């Protein structure tokens, strides 16, 4: 498939995990990539993976400096943005600090608002529509022990996605979210074997999801095959029910 040929696609949190898998899928689909992430060590590896049609922006999505860099790139055109960047700072309510709460809100929710606004401004000016895709999570639906901050942001992402789809639809800008379940990312792989087994048991498919399976969902929603889909959240969770 080459369903995204010549599309300029911005992906945050693109250096590893779901973000990198999404970049690989979109690159294979013919897109021009603008990848945004904090690490510098992965830049050479990303360049090797994407020898052309790739621009790397190193920066924190919560800072004005990074937003200015992204804005400069949107001036060259933007068709899709995947707001994938996210962090966890887990703790139960009585142990969670203000800093842990604020950090997760800033990355997982506020940055999506600011980047979506920036993207929508340019998409509207271009006059050819566009696609905004946001990273939600199944914990938005079910909650999760020790993740009041993370769960709140992901529920906020779903509500914001619905609202932005209503506001931007007249400009043919589609806004959707993907809600992954337990995915076999490098971060998850570091968890104890017992915890991984418990996570697998929560899915009727009895396995963790793959980053490439989340990337496939993003690629579908970005493509013309989904051009009448907006305001929705696609659960890619293997039927997971959080206990």
| pLDDT tens figures, 116-164 | 999 999 999 999 999 999 999 999 999 989 999 999 999 999 999 999 9
Stretch (H or E) spanning 200? helix 193-201
3-state DSSP helix/strand/coil % of the chain, to nearest 5? 45, 15, 35
Catalytic annotation, pick one of 27, 56, 142, 150 = 150
Phi, psi of 32 (to 5 degrees): -95, 125
Quick check: 170 and 126 in contact, CB under 8 A? no
Considering only 45-59, 157-171, 177-191, 198-212, which range has the smallest mean pLDDT?
A: 177-191
| pLDDT tens figures, 20-29 | 999 999 999 9
Total count of residues recorded for the chain? 243
Whether residue 174 has pLDDT greater than 60: yes
Give the domain ranges of the chain. Answer: 8-182+211-232
Residue range 94-108: average pLDDT?
A: 98
Q: Is 150 a catalytic residue?
A: yes
Indicate the CATH number of 8-182+211-232 among 3.40.640.10, 3.40.50.720, 1.20.120.80, 3.30.110.30.
3.40.50.720
* pLDDT tier for residue 1 given thresholds of 50, 70 and 90: low
Whether residue 77 has pLDDT greater than 80: yes
Quick check: 231 and 165 in contact, CB under 8 A? yes
Whether residue 233 has pLDDT greater than 90: yes
* pLDDT of 166: 98
**Of 44, 139, 30, which is closest to residue 88 (Cα–Cα)?**
139
Phi-psi region of 176 (alpha: psi -120 to 50; beta: other; left: phi over 0): beta
Question: How many angstroms separate the CA atoms of 177 and 179, rounded?
Answer: 7
């Amino acid at each position: 498939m080459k369903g995204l040929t010549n599309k300029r696609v911005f992906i945050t949190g693109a250096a590893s995990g779901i973000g990198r898998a999404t970049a690989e899928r979109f690159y294979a689909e013919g897109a021009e990539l603008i990848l945004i992430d904090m690490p510098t060590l992965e830049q050479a590896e990303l360049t090797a993976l994407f020898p052309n049609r790739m621009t790397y922006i190193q920066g924190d999505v919560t800072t004005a400096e990074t937003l200015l860099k992204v804005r400069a790139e949107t001036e060259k055109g933007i068709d899709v943005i995947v707001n994938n960047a996210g962090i966890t700072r887990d703790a139960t309510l009585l142990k969670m600090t203000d800093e842990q709460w604020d950090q997760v809100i800033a990355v997982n929710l506020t940055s999506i608002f600011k980047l979506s606004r920036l993207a929508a401004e340019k998409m509207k000016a271009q006059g050819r529509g566009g696609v905004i895709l946001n990273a939600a999570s199944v914990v938005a639906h079910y909650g999760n022990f020790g993740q009041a901050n993370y769960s709140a942001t992901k529920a906020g992402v779903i509500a914001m996605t619905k609202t932005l789809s209503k506001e931007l639809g007249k400009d043919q800008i589609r806004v959707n979210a993907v809600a992954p379940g337990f995915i076999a990312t490098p971060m998850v792989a570091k968890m104890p074997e017992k915890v991984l087994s418990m996570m697998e048991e929560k899915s009727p498919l009895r396995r963790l999801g793959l980053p490439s399976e989340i990337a496939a969902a993003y690629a579908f929603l970005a493509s013309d095959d989904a051009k009448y889909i907006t305001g929705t959240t696609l659960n890619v969770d293997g039927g997971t029910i959080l206990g």
